[in-house]
Amino acid sequence: MLKHQLIHPRINEILGRAGHHAAILIADGNYPASTKRGPNAEVVCLNLAPGVVNVAQVLRAILTAVPIDRINTMGIPDDDPYAQAGEPPVWSEYRQVVKESGLELKLEPVQKWDFYKIVDSPDHVLTVQTGDQALWANVLLTMGCRTL
């Protein structure tokens, strides 16, 4: 029986094969998961209905299962109409999830088109497609090393 909070068998299998520098994308419901992914990435669809499940729920579970070195969010281009609204509200929820997990990591925004380039890497091993309806809710995790 697993001791961490992540119990999805397929996600655990993929993470179990991954190693240092592997990239894990937790995608919102608007992310083009079928076309914007790395050549080695597998997609697990958890988008049951609008809002179910959301990115924060998946983030919370994954942070219990694997070491994470970096957390990138998809940054909003300055010329995007949503940029005028400031930081997406969901990012503060992610900070709270990270804090609750005991990690001292900061969210590091990466501009949208650069974010897509990073995801296109051979290191991208997993996309978890959620039904999250929040705007700019995508999170890219980089796995760290197991030290114990």
* Residue carrying structure tokens 């076309």: 35
Other Cβ atoms closer than 10 A to 43: 13
Measured distance CA(103)–CA(146) in Å, rounded: 14
According to the model, what pLDDT value does residue 1 have?
67
Q: Which residues of the chain register pLDDT less than 50?
A: none
Answer for the pair 26, 141: CB distance below 8 angstroms, yes or no: yes
Domains of the chain, earliest start first: 9-143 (3.40.1650.10)
According to the model, what pLDDT value does residue 122 have?
97
Other Cβ atoms closer than 10 A to 19: 14
